[in-house]
Structure 1
Amino acid sequence: MRRFLLLSVFVLSTGLTAMADGVRFFQGSWGQLLSEAKRQNKPIFVDVYTTWCGPCKLMTSQAFPNPRVASRMNEHFVNYKLDAEKGDGQSIAKRYGVQGYPTSLFLTPDGKLLHRAIGYNGIDKFLAEAQKAISDAKEARTMAIWNAEYDRGERSAKFLRGMLLKQTEYDRATADVLDDYVKILPKADTLAADEIKFLSDVLSTTYTKAYLLLARQTTSVAGQAAKQPLLPGLTKALSRAEQFDFQDAVASQDEVQLEQLIKHINARQQAQNPALAKTPVEQKAILEREADDVRLRFYRASRLPAHYIALAKKIAETRLMTRTATELARADSLAYLQSQRIDSGVATQSTDSTATTTPQADRSAVSRLTALQLCDLARNLTEQSADKKDLAQALRWSERAVQLHNHPSTVLVHARLLNRAGRRTEAQRQLRDAISRQQPDHDSVPMLQAELNKL
């Protein structure tokens, strides 16, 4: 009895609850959690869950009572459970960009992200993710030494390179350190191969001069045989920086930050390809199309259906549905000729006889892309809206998509929308026709047949 009372006093005084000798979870507000983590000088583990999530329940019942898990988590972390759909849990989950459940967040004592794992795949996998976070937490303490030297004014090339690599190992290289490194680089239009590789390895944001500097290297890298192996890494680095900033904008639902990112992306496109278009009007149209595509992704990821629906309708009706057959045929021909020039490595149209054997799909690239975009917009519009008028509009888009590119993927979307609109017989006919056009062993036949069987 005395032992039970002592244990009860301990639990109440520390704000912890134990799960039947399993993982102990701190009870209190988010602010109190951070204070407790600082007091214990331990990183934080947050189980972000929802009440309806099956894998969340499995992790709670299987992992948290497990002695190995409890020993590791109680020794190394202050543990916390967060309902992503209740109270402060909604804003906290959004702050850390949580988009799936369960999400395991591993944080520093002051709340900075160390490591993230999505889903639950068994005890061993959970412990492996926890060990990564333990290692990251140790690295975070080492990072404080680098930060202190930087704050004292250390700016040598060797130091900045080391700090950028250390930041990348820990989380992400920061814009201020990247900018300081760019300042000490030689003032030249093209960088040496080792500098291109280094910046490609550490770039993690568009909010730095290193982003456009690296983008401007694209032409020289592509044009020099010795540098061409650097091109995939360079391209990946630019994409990674944009994706990180995009995720940050989504996490905070910050449209101002989104528009700033779009400006950065447009500047990158012009830096990579100074001859982006023949006229300023064409260039503006190209950049605006790219910007709208980024906005669409943002509205969907941020769960802003009204914004998504308005922009989807604008893109479909003013950009895609208005393209005439003649215009698309001309665009297909130009795209095909351009691909032939790239494939042959010459600046004039290829006259090689093998050009006639190019698959028909390559000769209708623009029409195919237009069709797939229309299908994507149609499907997403009906996911975002239950309005019958929106369904009718989406059906027009998917019908046009099938006309442009009669392919199992477009037929499948159109058939599903027909069925949703109560036009089951038409949907069945579309699917049967699509199946009849395929070889019996074609990969799409089982998918189309399965959809037909549902109707």
Structure 2
Amino acid sequence: MKRYILLAFMALLTGNLLAQGIDFSHGTWKEVLAKAKKEDKLVFVDVYTSWCGPCKKMVAEVFPLKEVGDVFNPAFVNYKIDAEKGEGIEIAKQFSVKSYPTYLFVNGDGELIYRSGGYNIPKIFLNEATIAIKEKHDPKPMAKWEDEYLAGKRDKDFLMGYIKKRAVVKAPNGTLLEEVFPLLNAADLSDKEFMSDIFAFDPNMTFVPAGKFYQYVIAHHKAIDQLIGKREGYSLSAMEAGTDQHFNAEIIKNKNEQMLAVVVSVKRQLMELLKKEDIDVALKGAVMRYYKGTKQAKKLIPAAQDYVNNGLLKLDLAAKTAADKTSYLKQREPYVSGKQDSTKVETWATMQRIMANQKMLDISYKLREAAEAICINVDDPRVLAQAIEWIKKAEGYFPHFSIEAVYAGLLLKSGKKAEAFEMMMKASRDSFIQGNDKQKLLLENAAKIKNGELPEMLW
């Protein structure tokens, strides 16, 4: 009996030690929300994917810490979702999750109270929890701001406050900025806190291309950078990302083709101000993405051909290859000299594969994007044959499972089922994805191809 008591005590002790970090709840999303509501807590949601490196670092280095568990366990109902599996797919979509890890702080009614993301050192991660707790007790939560806006409230102070509140939850503000801008005076536009909130970078941030706020930023970007304490060019880079996101989320979604020329003009202006390379290629890519996103096959075909044949393949690829080699050799210097030990770098093989092909990797991915657009939207054998030539070049520049998966799709649509199956199997053997869910998907895709079925998601 004493032996069993001792074993039980040791099991309890071990369990307590293991639970020193964040204790994650199990169950359905509905059950977790109900628990949070009953306990008057927020749900902390770690949104991850199986292939996300920073997600794994958080799991290994931050979540297990006692000081982190001491804050998160009493304050939140903690929950994890894979954005690519089960309920996680819809939850990630509901909250517009576009990068990983993303951390959502949601109340028992399913309302977003705060969000953050990325790899955080413990101090920063705990500060995010403090902000979330503060937001929970805000007497005017996001839902109330939204109700007042929908009821027609549009005075300047309200709109500025609403923009700040939306910035907290990383909600897009592009359209709101167009509403409030005519009401703003010089003092408002010199308000460091307000402007910092507007330019707090997030994948969901939006700015209306060629809108009133856009024109202001073009004219005053240097002053804005100084005001918010950022490097020169930061506000222009944010504007580029935000107008791109507006293009994807609003213009493509609503099939507003009249805005396509505006988007192209704005993108050129921003890239020129930022002194970026390959501007014409980027503009051709934007046109292709519009027709891909709106599924206009007749216009997509010439747009994709223009992007690849008159854009990507007209670049000085030999110079890019040489630049990759120079950069790679420089990156390896401290390891070759013995100053650093490659055996202590867990991701050494993966890192070397990427570092050796930084510029050509980008070319390969862009060729893949064009070939995949054709694969999904076009049935013309002649055009499919062109796309196969593009994907062969992509595979030659930087072999990658996603490229091989698209290649497999094109082969299947070209009537070459056996070759398509072998190519998808080759994709599944890529060292980048061994043992994770992406490999499982590719093996499932291979089985579908064997039965003559084109997978809905190639990779």
* TM-score, normalising length: structure 1: 0.51
- Give 1:440 deviation, angstroms: 9.7
Shift of 1:125: 10
- The answer for the alignment partner of 2:301 in structure 1 is 309
C-alpha separation in 1, matches of 2:380 and 2:179: 48
- Counterparts of residues 236-247 of structure 1 (less than 5 Å): 239-244=241-246, 247=249
The partner residue of 2:413 within 420, 441, 446 is: 420
Please say if 1:164 is aligned against 2:160.
yes
Per the alignment, residue 214 of structure 2 pairs with 211
Within a 5 Å distance, the mapping from 1:168-183 to structure 2 comes to 172-175=175-178, 177-179=180-182, 181=184, 183=186
- Call closer, same or farther: CA 1:352–1:318 in 2, change over 3 Å: farther
2 CA distance for matches of 1:214 and 1:336?
A: 37
SS in 2 for 1:401: helix
| Change in CA separation of 1:174 and 1:128 when aligned onto 2, cut-off 3 Å | closer
Of residues 294-303 and 162-171 in structure 1, the stretch that sits farther from structure 2 once superposed is 162-171
Structure 2: runs of 5 or more not aligned? 1-93, 97-106, 113-140, 167-172, 343-347, 451-459
Is residue 2:287 matched to residue 1:295? yes
1:452 counterpart (443, 446, 451): 446
8 Å contact from structure 2 (residues 199, 235) kept in 1: yes
Report the CA distance shift for 1:133/1:318 in structure 2 as closer, same or farther (over 3 A): same
Contact 2:363 2:394 in 1 (8 A): yes
2:163–2:198 CA contact under 8 A, matched in 1: no
* Equivalent in 145, 151, 154 of residue 141 of structure 1: 151
Mapped to 2, the partners of 1:220 and 1:427 lie a distance apart of 55
Shift of 1:210: 3.6
Matches within 5 A, 1:114-133: none
The aligned counterpart of 1:66 is none
1:242 Cα deviation after fit: 4.5
Q: Which residue of 2 aligns with 1:329?
A: 321
Cα 1:334–1:134, aligned 2, differ >3 Å: closer, same or farther?
Answer: same
CA distance in 1, matches of 2:323, 2:390: 20
Instruction: Report the Cα offset of residue 217 of structure 1.
Output: 7.5
d(CA) in 1 for partners of 2:447, 2:378: 26
Displacement of 1:310 = 1.0
Q: Which amino acid aligns with 1:140?
A: L
- Please say if 1:366 is aligned against 2:359: yes
Maintained 8 Å contact 1:398/1:414: yes
**AA partner of residue 320 (structure 1):** L
Amino acid at match of 1:259: A
Structure 1 segment 358-397 matched on structure 2, within 5 A = 359-397=352-390
- CA shift digits 1:42-95 (9 cap, x unpaired): xxxxxxxxxxxxxxxxxxxxxxxxxxxxxxxxxxxxxxxxxxxxxxxxxxxxxx
Aligned partner of 2:195 in structure 1 is: 196
Q: 1:213 to 1:363 in 2, by over 3 A?
A: farther
Q: 1:142 to 1:403 in 2, by over 3 A?
A: closer
Match for 2:293: what amino acid?
A: A
Structure 1 residue 302, shift from structure 2 partner = 2.6
Deviation at 1:326, TM superposition (A): 2.7
Contact 2:375–2:406 under 8 Å retained in 1: no
Is the 1:164–1:178 contact (alpha carbons within 8 Å) kept by the matching residues of 2? no
In the aligned structure 2, how far is the partner of 1:244 from the partner of 1:440? 32
Using the size of structure 2 for normalisation, the TM-score is 0.50
RMSD of aligned alpha carbons: 4.9
Cα distance between partner residues in 1 of 2:290 and 2:301: 12
SS of equivalent residue, structure 2 residue 311:
helix
Question: Deviation at 1:301?
Answer: 2.6
Structure 1 unaligned runs (5+)? 1-115, 119-123, 147-159, 278-285, 345-350
2: CA distance, partners of 1:414 / 1:450: 16
Residue 264 of structure 2 is aligned to residue 262 of structure 1: yes
Given the superposition, is the C-alpha separation of residues 445 and 141 from structure 1 closer, same or farther in structure 2, using an over 3 Å criterion? Answer: closer
* Mapping 1:59-74, distance limit 5 Å: none
Q: What is the aligned-residue identity percentage?
A: 13
Is the 1:378–1:394 contact (alpha carbons within 8 Å) kept by the matching residues of 2? yes
The one-letter code of the counterpart of 1:329 is: T
Q: Quote the offset at 1:297 in angstroms.
A: 2.3
Do the aligned partners of residues 180 and 419 (structure 1) sit closer, same or farther apart at CA in structure 2, a change above 3 Å counting?
same
What letter corresponds to residue 398 of structure 1 in structure 2?
A: I
Shift of 1:269: 2.9
Greater CA radius of gyration, 1 or 2? 1
- The letter for the 2-side match of 1:365 is Q
How far apart are 1:333 and its partner, in Å?
A: 4.1
Q: Give me the whole-angstrom Cα distance separating, in 2, the residues matched to 1:369 and 1:440.
A: 19
Letter of the 2:418 counterpart: T
- From the superposition, tell whether residues 197 and 168 of structure 1 become closer, same or farther in structure 2 (CA, over 3 Å): closer
Deviations 1:179-221 (A, max 9, x none): 55365578xxxx6743531543797434445435546887788
- Residue 406 of structure 1 pairs with residue 365 of structure 2: no
Pair 117,371 (structure 1): closer, same or farther in 2 beyond 3 Å? closer
